[in-house]
Structure 1
Amino acid sequence: MGALPLLLLSLLAASALAADSLPAWTQNATLAALRVSPVDTGDVAWLLFCTCVVFIMIPGLGLFYAGLAESKNSMTLLHTCMLLFSVVAIQWSMFGYSLAFSDTSASMLLGNFEYAALLNTMNSQNKVAPTVPNSLWALYQMMAACITPSLWIGATAGRMRLLPTMVFAFFWTTLVYDPVAYAVYAHNGWLHSMNLLDYAGGTLVHMTGGFTALRFTAASYKSSFHIMPRFGWMGFDGGCAAASNSRAVNAALTNNLAGAIAGLIWMGLDTLVNKKKFSLIGYCTGAIAGMATMTAGSGLVQPGFGLVFGVLGAVAGFYAIKLMHYLRIDDSLDVTAVHAVGGCLGLLLTGIFAQYSVTAVDVPLDVKVTAGLVDRVWNQVPIQLLAIVVVAAWSMAWTAILLTLINLIPGLHLRASRQDEIRGLDEAEVGEQAYPYVPVSAAALVEQIAAAKTVERIDV
C-alpha cells in the first residue's frame, strides 16, 4: 500500500479514536452545541432535490465534452468527468468537507478534522445551514466540489493522461478548492468574516476553475469550452439557500434571466462582429457566460438585475476572447473567458447591486447582513476586489506548483505523448472507442451510396 492511502487511513483512524476517547458528557455537549435549530423537512426535501439536479450536471458536462470533441477522445472526456467525481467524492468524505466547512475551527484559513470521515454529521447542523443535517449539506456541497475540476478539464481536452489527472485533482481540491471554500463560506472563514458577497460560488467554482484553466493554457495545453445543463444550474444556485424559501426562488430566477439574455447578446455579437449566422454555439456560450456571471449575486440582488448581469457578462466574455486571441493565449474554446472573466465580473457587480431588501430576507436575526454600492455600502467593492485578486493568485500559484511536482514523479507526467494525442486518448488511455467504426469522407460516402443503389437496380 502506498504512502498516501496509509496517511489518509491514519487521519481517519485518529479522528475516530479522538471522538471515542472523549467523555460522554463532552461528546453530548459538543453535539448539543452543533444542533443550531430543529431540522426542517421542507428544507431537507428541497436540498435533496437540488443535490440530485446538480449531480446531473456532471455526466451532462461529460456528454457535452464527448459530443464536442473529436471522436477519438469522446469516451476519455466523459470518463474523466466521472472519474473526477469519484476521486473528489472520496477526498470530500474523508477530510475535504471538514477542511472546507468546519464550523468548530478557530482558524480563519482552514477547517479542522471535526467532520473527518463525516463523523458527527447525521445528528448535527452546520452553522451556515442550520435547518438541514450536516450530512445533507456535505452531500450538496460535494456535488459542487466534484464538478469544479471538470471546468479546468476543458483546458486539457485530449491532452492529459487519466491517472496523473486523478492525482492532480485530489491535491488540487485539497490545496485550492477547500481553503477557498472555507475562506468564503465557513463560519470563521476570513472572507466570510469580511462579509464578502458571493451567494452561489462565483469565487469558489468559476474563479478557481477558470484561473486554473488559464494556468493550463499558459503551460501550452489546448483548451476546450463546455456547457452545463441550465436545469442543473437552477439547483446549483437555488440550493445555496440551504432552505426552501424566497431566496432560493430569487437565485433560480435571476440565474435564468441572466442566461436567457446573455445567449441572445452573444449570438448577436457573433452575427454583427464575427459575421456569422445565428450560431447555436454562440448562443450556448453566451448563456453559460451569463449564468457564470450571475452565480455570485443570484440570491443577493433584485431579480431584474439578472438582465444587467447577463448583458455585461456576455459582452465581457465575448471581447475577452478577442483579447486572448490578440495576446495569442491558446484558449481555443473559451474556458477562461466564460469562467474566470465571468466569475470576476459577477463578484464585482454583486458588490455594486446587492441590496438589503434582498440580503436581509430569510436570514436569522443574529446574522450580520450587508449590501452593495447602490445601498451606500462604500467598502463592499474593495472587499470584492480583494477576493478576486487573492483567489486568482491562489488558484494559479498552486496549479503551477502541482503541475511542476507531479510532472517530476516518474510515471505521472500529465501530458500525453504526441503519438497518443494523434491516435486519440480513447485508444491510448481507455482502450475502448465511443464510435467503433472507420470514418469515411463525405465524397467516399456518396460513392458508396451510389454503388449500393446501382447494385439494387441490377438485382431488380
Structure 2
Amino acid sequence: MASTLRSTILALICLASVYAQNTSTPAVDPINSGDQSWILVSCALVFIMVPGLGLFYSGLAETKNSMSMLLSVLAVFAVVTIQWSLFGYSLAFSDTSASSFIGDMRYAALLNTMDTQNAMASTISASLFSMYQMMFAAITPGLFVGATAGRMKLVPTLILVFLWTTIVYDPVTYWVWSSNGWLHNKNVMDYAGGSVVHVSSGAAAFVLAYRLGKRCDYGSRPYVNHNPTFVYLGTALLWFGWMGFNGGSSVAANSRGVNAAYASNLAASTGGLVWMVLDNAVNKKRLSAIGFCTGVIAGLATITPGSGFVQPGFGIVFGFLGSVCCFYSIKAMHYLQVDDSLDVTAVHGVGGALGMVLTGIFAQFSVTNANATPGTATAGWVEGVWIQVPIQLAAIAAIGAWSAVWTALIMFALDSVLGFKLRVSNEDEMLGLDMVEVGEHAYPFVEDGTLKNGSYKSVSVSTLPV
C-alpha cells in the first residue's frame, strides 16, 4: 500500500511539473530538419553579402580609400556580431517581454536559445533563428558606412555602429518582426527588411553625410569609381546572397521562400537593365557596368519588403519603379549638395521606402495566406485593403525618424561630448584613409601613381569623366 501511494504521489508531481512547464512556455511546432537546413544555408548566403558589400563599396571608392572600405564593412560585421550575441537578439526578439516597444534580457548572452523556439520561427531552434537574424543586424550598419567613405575615422565609426545597433536597429526590429511589436500588431508588411534594414540605414546615411559635411574637394573635381571589376564581383555576391536574405525570411523551406527568391531575381534583373538604359539616355554614358550593378542593388532593395507578399511577376514592377526612382534620387541628392559618397540614401533609403509603399499596393491574399507567419494575414490595395498603405507610410515615418534623430544624437555625443572626432583632417582626407587609418594599400605595388621601379604610371583619377 505504501509503495502504491508513493508511486501515485510521484506520478502526480510529474504531471504537475509537466503542466506547469506547458503553461509557462508557448506551444511550438517540432523542429523540422528541412527548415533547419535551409535557414542554416541562408545564414551562409547572407554572410557572403558582407564581403560582397565590401567589394562593391571598395570598387566605387577612390583608390586611396579602397582598403579602408573593405576593412570597415568587415569590422562592422564583427562588432555587431558581438553586440547581437551579448544582448541584441534578446532586445530585438524576446518573446517573453510584455512591452510593445523593446524586448527584455531573457536571451542575453544567447542563454535559453539552444532548447527553445521563437514564436516567429517555430520550426527551427531559437539559436539558429538568432544567427540568421544576426546576419541582417550586421549588414545593416555596413550599408551606411558607404555614405561617409573617405572622411570618417574607423574607431569612432565602430563605436557609433555599436551604439546605433543597440538604440536604433534592435528596437525597430522588435517593432516590426517580434510577435509583440507595435507595428507587427498593426499588420505592417515588411517581409525581409524594407523598413528595418533599408529605411533605417538610409536615414542614418543621410544624417551622417549631412552632419559630417562634404568632402574637402567636393565639386572641384570628378570622383572616379576606381575598380569596376570589384563593383561587378560585389554585385554578383550581393545578388547571390540576397536569395538567402529574402528567400530565407520565410524561416522555413516552403513555397513562400521560393516566391521571395524568384521575385527578387526578377526585380534585380529589371533594375539593372533599366538603370543602364537611363544612364545611356539621360547621362549620355555608354552601356555602363557600374550603372547596371547599381540598378541591380536598387531593384533588390525595392523588392525586399514585398518579396514574400506579391506574386513573383510583380518583381518586374518593383525593379522598374525602384530603378527609376533611385536613379533620380541620386540627382536630387546632388542638387541638395548632400555628399553621400556612395549614394546609400538614394539607393537603399529610397528603394526600401518605395518598396514598402508598393507592398501596401500590390500584396495579395493568395500569397500572404500561404505558409503564413504568426499574425493576421493581410494584403494591399489590389485586394481592397485600403488601410495598408497608410500603415506602411506610418512604419516608414516612425523608423526613418527614429533612425535619423538617434544617429544625430549619437554623432553629437561622440564628437562633442566624448571627444571622439569623427572626421579626419583635410590633410589626411587628401592622403586617403588607406594610408592614414589602415596603414595598408589595396595595391601595394603602386606608390604615388607609379611602380616602385618607375616603369608604370597609373591613370590619374582626376582626369577621368564621372
1:349-360 alignment runs, 5 A limit? 349-360=358-369
Whole-Å Cα distance in 2 between the matches of residues 391 and 167 of structure 1? 21
The separation in 1 between residues aligned to 2:448 and 2:439, in whole angstroms, is: 22
2:277 counterpart of 1:268:
yes
Task: Indicate whether 1:395 and 2:387 are aligned.
Answer: no
Pair 1:367–1:385, CA change in 2 (3 A):
closer
Of residues 246, 256, 260, the one that matches 1:251 is: 260
- Hey, what does 1:11 align to over in structure 2? none
Name the CA distance, whole Å, in 1 between partners of 2:403 and 2:77. 20
Q: Deviations over 1:36-80 (max 9, x none)?
A: 110000000000000001101111211222333223222221111
- Aligned match of 2:385: 377
Matched, 1:416 2:408: no
1:406 to 390, 408, 414: 414
Deviation at 1:399?
0.4
Distance 1:82 1:212 in 2: 19
- The aligned residue for residue 320 of structure 1 is 329
Task: Name the SS of the counterpart of 1:342 in structure 2.
Answer: helix
How far apart, CA to CA, are the structure 1 residues paired with 2:101 and 2:214?
Answer: 31
Comparing 88-97 with 402-411, which one deviates more in the overlay?
A: 402-411
Task: Report the CA distance shift for 1:332/1:408 in structure 2 as closer, same or farther (over 3 A).
Answer: closer
Query: For residue 289 of structure 2, what is the aligned residue in structure 1?
Result: 280
In structure 2, the residue matched to 1:94 is 86
TM-score, L = length of structure 2:
0.86
Per the alignment, residue 21 of structure 2 pairs with 29
Q: Contact conserved, 1:34 with 1:126, CA < 8 A, in 2?
A: no
Q: Distance in 1 between matches of 2:60 and 2:445?
A: 18
Q: Which residue of 1 aligns with 2:435?
A: 427
Deviation at 1:328, TM superposition (A): 2.2
Cα distance in 1 for partners of 2:20, 2:68 equals 48
Instruction: For 2:171, give the aligned amino acid.
Output: P
- Confirm or deny: 8 A CA contact 1:31 1:124 kept in the other structure: no
- How far apart in 1 are the matches of 2:447 and 2:436? 18
5 Å matches for 1:299-314? 299-314=308-323
Counterparts of 1:7-156 in structure 2, within 5 Å, are 29=21, 33-34=25-26, 36-156=28-148
Cα distance change, pair 31–140 in 1 and its aligned pair in 2 (3 A) = farther
Cα RMSD, aligned residues only = 2.5
Contact 1:35 1:125 in 2 (8 A): no
How many equivalent residue pairs?
425
Say which SS state the counterpart of residue 87 (structure 1) adopts. helix
**CA-CA distance at 1:331 after TM superposition:** 2.5
Aligned-partner SS, 2:312: coil
Contact 1:31/1:123, CA 8 A, preserved across alignment: no
Residue identity (%) = 55
What is the CA distance between 1:275 and its match in structure 2? 1.0
Amino acid at match of 1:201: G
What is the deviation of 1:410? 4.9
Please list every run of 5 or more consecutive structure 2 residues that lacks an aligned counterpart in the other structure. 1-15, 226-230, 458-466
Q: Which residue of 2 aligns with 1:21?
A: none
Q: Structure 2 vs 1, CA of residues 324 and 65 (structure 1 numbering), >3 Å: closer, same or farther? A: closer
Of the structure 1 ranges 387-396 and 331-340, higher mean CA displacement relative to structure 2 is found in 331-340
CA distance in 1, matches of 2:132, 2:19: 26
In the alignment, does 2:203 pair up with 1:211?
yes
2:233 is equivalent to residue 241 of structure 1: no
Q: 1:30 to 1:399 in 2, by over 3 A?
A: farther
Matches of 1:150 and 1:206, distance apart in 2:
11
Distance in 2 of aligned mates of 1:110 and 1:179: 5
- CA deviation after TM superposition for structure 1 residue 409, in Å: 4.4
Cα 1:295–1:155 shift into 2, 3 Å: same
Q: RCO (CA 8 Å, sep 6+): is it higher in 1 or 2?
A: 2
Cα shift at 1:137 = 0.3
Distance 1:318 1:304, change over 3 A: same
Contact 2:76 2:158 survives alignment (8 Å): yes
> Aligned letter for 2:250?
A
